[in-house]
Chain A
Amino acid sequence: MALDLNELMTDLKTAISEIVGRDLTTVRGFQERQLKAIAQQAALVSAGILTGDITPETREFFLDGLEDMVLNFLKTLRGILEITIEKAWNAAIRVIWDAIERATGITLL
């Protein structure tokens, strides 16, 4: 049986779109939560420094902390995107495998 290219293309698109769509929803939610929380933290630290409620003992720690939080937020985002790429790649390979199995009748691993 000949391999149906149109069907393969549709299956690939469906598999990849589902994964990317689902993961992007997670990423969007995470991004919004983080940006809001980091902005609130920056406001709290800056107000605390002005009023003296953030003491000299902790001032530098919190200021450095803001920078570190943003950096690790970006690293986390990148880590999640790598997982998405991995899932999309593996799903695409599975779809190609299935199509070849159907066309050739050979059972692949």
Chain B
Amino acid sequence: MKSLLKSARACLWLVFVACSLFNCTVQLAPSYNRELVTGITAQNKSTMEFFALMALGAKSTTYVDRESYYIQLIGGFDALVTQANARFTPRNKFRQKANEALKNKGIPVLEEGEIPSATALGRIYTTLIKMRETDQKQGVTATEVQAFKGQIKIYLDQALTYENALER
């Protein structure tokens, strides 16, 4: 028992010495950005208001009436993607090792430097671009509007949940 305590104490001293020389705390994910979260929340509201307006579907002949909404939303999400990516993303051996192990099993990985919320915001941007193209070309049915909305809501949940988790 005495020798066990002795070696445990030696280990703690080793940790103490090592951590005195090197910074022992780690950062595995980007920093929290309150402005970004506020921006996503505001865009969420504007997007849902737009979908309320579109709920019954729309004909291409009236597309011009909606163009300004599309421009505002698409521009807003594009800016959020830039904001989400413009952060220091820690690179670490932990992620590299985990990626190697997952790749060997054929499991898709979070690439080095990839921020899942930025990816989600990028997908919202492309979803709105596709919706605008369709609306302009042939109009959108009520079911298509529902499907575009469903897709965007799923990505918004991913982006907001990840960004809120970064507040540590």
Contacts and interface: CB of A to CB of B under 8 A. Distances in A.
B12 A72 contact: no
B87 interface: no
Interface string B128-155: 0010001001100111101100110111
Interface string A83-106: 101110110010011011000000
Contacts of A57: 134, 137-138
Interface stretch (B46-54, B67-75, B78-86, B117-125): B117-125
A80 B138 contact: no
Contacts of A72: 116, 119-120, 123, 155, 158
Given A44-B150, A54-B147, A76-B120, 8 more contacts: A48-B147, A69-B155, A75-B114, A83-B29, A86-B168, A89-B26, A93-B19, A100-B12
26 contacts: A5-B5, A5-B8, A26-B161, A34-B154, A37-B153, A37-B154, A41-B147, A44-B146, A54-B147, A65-B127, A68-B123, A69-B123, A71-B108, A72-B155, A75-B109, A76-B117, A76-B120, A79-B116, A79-B117, A79-B165, A80-B162, A82-B94, A83-B165, A86-B168, A93-B19, A93-B25
Top 7 A-B pairs ranked by shortest CB distance?
A: A53-B143, A86-B28, A76-B116, A48-B143, A41-B150, A75-B116, A79-B116
